[in-house]
């Protein structure tokens, strides 16, 4: 594992491996003098990062994440630099993030820890730095100069509302320690997720691994801060048991063994909220915990607590024995040493989960022995050569022609809509392209998204010479604008092509943004006109 960008990227086995390494580091730091660690990992813990340079690039204020990573580097023998906010960079002068990150890669840093306000920025950073490294390598080779810098590891220190994977790992590490103290393991825990479930990236990260550990989730939240329908639906599709208590925090606490509280993300939802009402609903105090008695769960929180506005954990809970927030926070050091060591290749994770990405494919359809002439007077004639895109969903033919760039290219064509069809509910659209024309891979992607059951008929001398369908692969690039305004792919100055994973194909293909991980559907993109028109 070279990078840590999202909890969606790593397996349960990888997670448990990281937690094991973190546990070994914690024991050797605090335990009696022993050489068991160096025997197991081939190095002393304080030399894991010797010769490794790390830059913490934080576009958003941070205390724990930033400084625990910095402490981890120093204590494990590495060197660290970076900036704490974008105010300390040329981003304030209009520079792109791509150029900012490329500078640190060009100076030979081995790892970049990134915190951003835009969702998806860490994954984009890995992409652009991979491209830049190849360019630098080629240029050095051209000038006859050696070049040894590698693409730095990317660790996501929190990107907007999306993910905070290193926090999730230290949370899981803490939960594991709590569970083991009671003779249990992570699997099957009853976990209460409280307060800002909708906007909190730490909760988002925990939700994304709930199915791996068979967590039973108990939600409680102020109005409009609850999980989206898409999130709940996805959890249930993955077999996760979800109980929604809405504003009843006490009942959610009563039914959980660990409660994960969170700070309302006022900086992400904007002003105008009724903060006093949110505070009344979401505050955890000693009175509540006393009422729960032996059923009171251990209380976790990613910190900081917003003591000025919400005081979501009240002052009288500071010394409560079930309040493990400071214990939880301190675990960040051990987990982040483990992460950096694994990403730097100093500790072998022994687990490989990368798979090849498969794009759109073409599936040939056998032609009839009697080759059919395409001269249907209802839909227009094909003279000599051309292409017929058949079985387009009714009413979508004209939009498809626009998305394919046929309008912008002024291609001679006939668009027929609501024709009789034995498929698709009895109706279909059809597009006939006249003359020699060859569809590009971009156009194939667009057809597969908008008209997944379409057939492509290639015409030569008024006879069908080839017939095929298009099958979506695992991803598609540049065809749909991300639905999330906060996604890095929607930041105009960065010039990023949107990319989507294909999670499920069917009547309404399900997508997920490759950068910000927000789910989407082709039907939603069609209704909101978010298709990228080829050639415009």
Q: Distance (Å, rounded) from C-alpha 209 to C-alpha 217?
A: 11
The phi and psi torsions of 466 (rounded to 5 degrees) equal: -155, 145
Location of structure tokens 């830059």 = 55
Q: Quick one: 513 exposed, middle or buried, by C-beta within 10 A (0-12, 13-18, 19+)?
A: buried
CATH class of 165-323: alpha beta
Mean pLDDT score of the chain: 90
> pLDDT tens, 396-421?
999 999 999 998 899 999 999 999 88
Cα Rg of the chain (Å, integer)? 27
The answer regarding whether domain 7-163+334-343 maps to CATH 3.90.226.10 reads no
pLDDT of the residue at 273: 65
> pLDDT tens, 234-265?
999 999 999 999 999 999 999 999 999 998 87
Location of structure tokens 């050696």 = 146
Q: Distance (Å, rounded) from C-alpha 42 to C-alpha 153?
A: 22
Tokens of 389: 């895109």
Q: Which of 47-56, 190-199, 413-422 has the lowest mean pLDDT?
A: 413-422
pLDDT of the residue at 271: 59
Q: Three-state SS across 463-481?
A: EEEEEEEEECCCEEECCEC
**pLDDT higher than 70, residue 481:** yes
**pLDDT higher than 60, residue 188:** yes
Answer with the residue of higher pLDDT: 32 or 319: 319
**pLDDT higher than 80, residue 526:** yes
What's the average model confidence in pLDDT over 167-183? Answer: 97
Q: Distance (Å, rounded) from C-alpha 111 to C-alpha 151?
A: 8
- What CATH number matches the domain at 357-536, 1.10.10.60, 1.20.1090.10, 3.40.50.1820, 3.30.70.140? 3.30.70.140
Q: What is the DSSP string of 88-135?
A: GSGGGGT--HHHHHHHHHHTT-SEEEEEESSBTHHHHHHHHHHHHHHH
- Residue spans of the domains in the chain: they are 7-163+334-343, 165-323, 357-536
**pLDDT higher than 80, residue 286:** yes
**pLDDT higher than 90, residue 165:** yes
Q: Distance (Å, rounded) from C-alpha 502 to C-alpha 514?
A: 10
Judge whether 317 and 262 are in contact, CB under 8 Å.
Answer: no
Tokens of 377: 């007077």
> pLDDT tens, 488-505?
999 999 999 999 999 887
pLDDT of the residue at 487: 96
* Residues contacting residue 61 through CB under 8 Å, at least 6 positions apart: 84, 85
Percent of the chain whose predicted confidence (pLDDT) is above 70: 93
**pLDDT higher than 70, residue 428:** yes
Q: Three-state SS across 133-187?
A: HHHHHHHHHHCCCCCCCCCCEEEEEEECCCECHHHHHHHHHHHHHHHHHCCCCCC
Domains 7-163+334-343 and 357-536 agree in fold: no
39 CA to centre of own chain:
37
As beta bridge partners, residue 419 has: 428
Q: Distance (Å, rounded) from C-alpha 265 to C-alpha 261?
A: 12
Percent of the chain whose predicted confidence (pLDDT) is above 90: 75
Judge whether 252 and 245 are in contact, CB under 8 Å.
Answer: yes
pLDDT of the residue at 268: 54
Q: Distance (Å, rounded) from C-alpha 287 to C-alpha 534?
A: 61
Answer with the residue of higher pLDDT: 456 or 223: 456
> pLDDT tens, 365-386?
887 655 555 555 555 567 778 9
What's the average model confidence in pLDDT over 153-170? Answer: 95
Location of structure tokens 């409680």 = 220
Cis before 449 (ω within 30): no
pTM above 0.95, yes or no: no
Answer with the residue of higher pLDDT: 95 or 372: 95
Answer with the residue of higher pLDDT: 147 or 349: 147
**pLDDT higher than 80, residue 210:** yes
Q: Strand, coil or helix: what is 235?
A: helix
Q: Which helix (H) or strand (E) holds 72?
A: helix 64-75
Q: Which helix (H) or strand (E) holds 292?
A: helix 286-292
Q: Three-state SS across 304-344?
A: CCCCCCCCCECHHHCCCCCECHHHHHHHHHHHHHHHHHHHC
């Amino acid at each position: 594992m070279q990078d840590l960008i999202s909890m969606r990227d790593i397996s349960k086995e990888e997670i448990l491996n990281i937690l094991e390494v973190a546990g070994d580091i914690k024991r050797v730091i605090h335990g009696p003098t022993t050489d068991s660690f160096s025997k197991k990992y081939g190095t002393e813990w304080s030399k894991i990062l010797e010769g490794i340079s790390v830059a913490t690039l934080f576009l958003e204020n941070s205390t724990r994440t930033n400084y625990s990573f910095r402490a981890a580097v120093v204590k494990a023998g590495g060197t660290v630099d970076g900036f704490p906010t974008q105010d300390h960079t040329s981003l304030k002068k209009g520079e792109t993030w791509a150029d900012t990150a490329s500078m640190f890669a060009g100076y030979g840093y081995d790892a970049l820890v990134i915190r951003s306000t835009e969702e998806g920025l860490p994954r984009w950073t890995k992409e652009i730095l991979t491209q830049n490294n190849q360019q630098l390598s080629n240029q050095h080779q051209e000038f006859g100069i050696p070049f040894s810098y590698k693409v730095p590891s990317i660790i996501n220190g929190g990107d907007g509302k999306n993910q905070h994977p290193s926090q999730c790992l230290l949370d899981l590490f803490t939960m594991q320690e709590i569970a083991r103290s009671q003779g249990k393991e992570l699997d099957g825990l009853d976990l209460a997720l409280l307060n800002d479930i909708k906007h909190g990236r730490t909760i988002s990260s925990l939700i994304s691994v709930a199915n791996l550990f068979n967590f039973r989730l108990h939600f409680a939240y102020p109005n409009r801060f609850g999980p989206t329908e898409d999130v709940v639906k996805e959890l249930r599709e993955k077999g996760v048991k979800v109980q929604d208590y809405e504003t009843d925090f006490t009942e959610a606490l009563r039914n959980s063994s660990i409660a994960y509280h969170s700070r309302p993300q006022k900086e992400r939802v904007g002003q105008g909220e009724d903060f006093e009402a949110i505070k009344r609903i979401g505050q955890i105090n000693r009175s509540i915990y006393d009422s729960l008695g032996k059923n009171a769960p251990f209380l976790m929180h990613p910190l900081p607590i917003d003591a000025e506005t919400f005081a979501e954990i009240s002052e009288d809970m500071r010394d409560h024995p079930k309040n493990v927030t400071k214990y939880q926070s301190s675990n960040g050091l051990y987990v982040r040493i483990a992460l950096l060591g694994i990403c730097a290749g100093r500790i072998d994770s022994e687990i490989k989960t990368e798979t090849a990405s498969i794009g759109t494919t073409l599936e040939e359809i056998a032609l009839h022995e009697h080759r059919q002439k395409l001269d249907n007077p209802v839909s227009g004639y094909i003279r000599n050569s051309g292409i017929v895109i058949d079985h387009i969903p009714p009413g979508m033919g004209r939009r498809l022609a626009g998305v394919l760039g046929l309008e912008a290219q002024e291609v001679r064509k006939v668009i027929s809509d609501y024709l009789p069809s034995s498929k698709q509910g009895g109706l279909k659209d059809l597009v006939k392209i006249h003359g020699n024309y060859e569809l590009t891979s971009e156009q194939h992607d667009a057809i597969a998204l908008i008209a997944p059951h379409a057939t492509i008929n290639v015409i030569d001398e008024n006879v069908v010479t080839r017939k095929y369908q298009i099958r979506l692969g695992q991803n598609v690039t540049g065809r749909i604008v991300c639905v999330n305004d906060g996604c890095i792919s929607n930041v105009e100055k960065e010039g990023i092509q949107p990319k989507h994973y294909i999670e499920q194909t069917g009547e309404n293909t399900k997508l997920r943004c490759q950068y910000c991980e927000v789910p989407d559907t082709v039907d939603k993109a069609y209704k909101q006109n978010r298709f990228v028109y080829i050639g415009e």
